[in-house]
Amino acid sequence: MSTQSMQHDPASETAGQISPEGVAPACAWDETFDVVVVGGGSAGIAVTASLLRRQPGLKIAVVEPRDTHDYQPAWTLVGGGLFDVDRTRRAMNEVMPKGVTWIRAAVARIEPDENRVRLENGEAVPYRDLVVAAGLRLAWERIEGLEQALGKYGVTSNYRRDLAPYTWELVRSMRSGTALFTQPAMPIKCAGAPQKAMYLSCDHWRRAGALERINVEFNTDGAVLFGVAAFVPSLMKYVHRYRANLAFRSNLVAVDGPGKLAYFDVKDAAGETTRVAKPFEMLHVVPPQVAPDFVRDSQLADAAGWFEVDHATLRHPRYANVFALGDVCSAPNAKTAAAARKQAVIVASNLLAMRSGLPMPSRYDGYGACPLTVERGKVVLAEFGYGGKLLPTFPLDPTKPSKLAWLLKAKLLPWFYWNGMLKAREWLTGKHA
Give the nearest distance from C-beta 65 to ligand FAD in angstroms.
6
Cα 388 to Cα 77, 345, 378, 391, 392: the distances in Å are 25, 21, 22, 9, 12
d(CA 130, CA 133): 10
**C-beta of residue 351 within 8 angstroms of C-beta of residue 359:** no
Interface pick for ligand FAD out of 158, 183, 289, 333 (rule CB under 6 A)? 158
Q: Residue 381: beta bridge partners?
A: 371
d(CA 403, CA 340): 25
Give the nearest distance from C-beta 296 to ligand FAD in angstroms.
11
Choosing from 27, 202, 329, 370, the catalytic residue is 370
d(CA 50, CA 246): 42
- Segment contacting ligand FAD by CB under 6 A, of 178-186, 332-340, 358-366, 418-426: 332-340
Of 264 and 417, which has the nearer Cβ to ligand FAD? 417
**Residues 6 or more apart from 161 whose CB is under 8 A from it?**
70, 72, 75, 78, 85, 88, 89
Of 255 and 370, which has the nearer Cβ to ligand FAD? 370
Cα 352 to Cα 36, 54, 361: the distances in Å are 13, 8, 10
Choosing from 27, 190, 202, 329, the catalytic residue is 190
Decide: is 39 part of the binding site for ligand FAD (CB under 6 A). yes
Give the nearest distance from C-beta 341 to ligand FAD in angstroms.
8
**Residues 6 or more apart from 225 whose CB is under 8 A from it?**
195, 218, 232, 235, 236, 239, 246
Of 153 and 294, which has the nearer Cβ to ligand FAD? 294
| C-beta nearest to ligand FAD: residue | 41
DSSP assignments along 331-348, one per residue: --S-BSHHHHHHHHHHHH
Neighbouring C-alpha atoms within 13 Å toward the C-beta of 374: 23
- Segment contacting ligand FAD by CB under 6 A, of 121-129, 172-180, 327-335, 356-364: 327-335
Of 69 and 204, which has the nearer Cβ to ligand FAD? 69
d(CA 293, CA 204): 39
Interface pick for ligand FAD out of 10, 15, 37, 42 (rule CB under 6 A)? 42
In the range 284-303, which residues lie near ligand FAD by CB under 6 A? Answer: 292, 294
> What are phi and psi for residue 384, nearest 5 degrees?
-155, 160
d(CA 422, CA 433): 18
Interface pick for ligand FAD out of 126, 371, 398, 401 (rule CB under 6 A)? 371
d(CA 359, CA 78): 44
Of 235 and 260, which has the nearer Cβ to ligand FAD? 235
In the range 83-142, which residues lie near ligand FAD by CB under 6 A? Answer: 106-107, 133-135
**C-beta of residue 156 within 8 angstroms of C-beta of residue 283:** yes
Decide: is 178 part of the binding site for ligand FAD (CB under 6 A). no
- Segment contacting ligand FAD by CB under 6 A, of 139-147, 178-186, 270-278, 334-342: 334-342
Interface pick for ligand FAD out of 171, 190, 198, 301 (rule CB under 6 A)? 190
Give the nearest distance from C-beta 160 to ligand FAD in angstroms.
8
Q: Could you tell me which of 298, 332, 352, 8 has the C-alpha nearest to residue 132?
A: 298
Q: Could you tell me which of 425, 298, 309, 286 has the C-alpha nearest to residue 366?
A: 309
Decide: is 171 part of the binding site for ligand FAD (CB under 6 A). no
The DSSP element (H or E) to which 270 belongs, if any, is none
| Bond preceding residue 112 cis, omega within 30 of 0 | no
# binding residues, ligand FAD (CB under 6 A): 37
The question of whether 370 is a catalytic residue gets the answer yes
Decide: is 340 part of the binding site for ligand FAD (CB under 6 A). yes
Of 122 and 279, which has the nearer Cβ to ligand FAD? 122
Interface pick for ligand FAD out of 104, 189, 278, 316 (rule CB under 6 A)? 189
Give the nearest distance from C-beta 75 to ligand FAD in angstroms.
4
The DSSP element (H or E) to which 57 belongs, if any, is none
Give the nearest distance from C-beta 185 to ligand FAD in angstroms.
16
Of 190 and 301, which has the nearer Cβ to ligand FAD? 190
CB count, 10 Å around CB of 411?
10
Of 255 and 340, which has the nearer Cβ to ligand FAD? 340
The question of whether 190 is a catalytic residue gets the answer yes
Q: What is the contact mask toward ligand FAD in residues 48 to 67, using x (rule: CB under 6 A)? A: ---------------xxxx-
Q: Which residues bind ligand FAD (CB under 6 A)?
A: 38-44, 63-66, 72-73, 75-76, 106-107, 133-135, 158-159, 189-190, 193, 292, 294, 326-328, 335-338, 340, 369, 371
Annotated catalytic residues are 190, 370
